[in-house]
Amino acid sequence: MPHHLLADAVLLLHLAFVAFAVAGGLAVWRWPRLAWLHLPALAWGAYVVLSGTVCPLTPLENALREAAGASVYRGSFIEHYLIALIYPAAVQGPTGRGVQIGLGLALLVFNALVYAVVWRRRKRRGAG
């Protein structure tokens, strides 16, 4: 398989992982057993965003793009693809790290609220 197709596949896998880390709690609401898969994904996603670490999928994608003769990007997947998509250029630059921390905290708060509702719902079912 050509390197650019592999790089695109890694990009799609990365995007799916980010989406699952962000919104997987909603899937847990419907299928509670998914929590065993979602909680580690959430923990990893929050760690990467809050610590400023680069996910291993980013250098893999860049290596594949470079092998295909395409240009590579600096920074993380979130900085390159998602912050530019979600936030206008005005909040990037010196405030970019603060925005990234805000995204990480929002990730944790949103999922904590979803898990609280799931836990409460299951507790009510068990009591009734």
- What pLDDT digit, counting tens, does each position of 74-113 carry? 776 766 676 666 555 544 566 667 877 888 899 999 999 9
Residue 14 reports pLDDT greater than 70: yes
Tokens 């925005």 belong to 99
Residue pair 77/14 in contact by the 8 Å Cβ criterion: yes
The boundaries of the domain holding residue 72 are: 3-127
Q: Distances in Å between the alpha carbon of 69 and those of 4, 33, 65, 82, 95?
A: 8, 43, 6, 24, 32
Angle between helices 3-30 and 35-51 (to 10 degrees): 120
Residue pair 100/79 in contact by the 8 Å Cβ criterion: yes
**Cα separation, 38 vs 20, whole angstroms:** 7
Closest residue by Cα to residue 2 from 68, 66, 60: 68
DSSP state of 107: H
Q: Please, what is the average pLDDT of the chain?
A: 83
In this prediction the pTM is 0.74
Tokens 């893999």 belong to 60
**b/e code 83-119 from CB counts within 10 Å (16+ = b):** beeeeeeeeeeeeeeebbeebbeebbeebeebbeebe
- The tally of domains found in the chain comes to 1
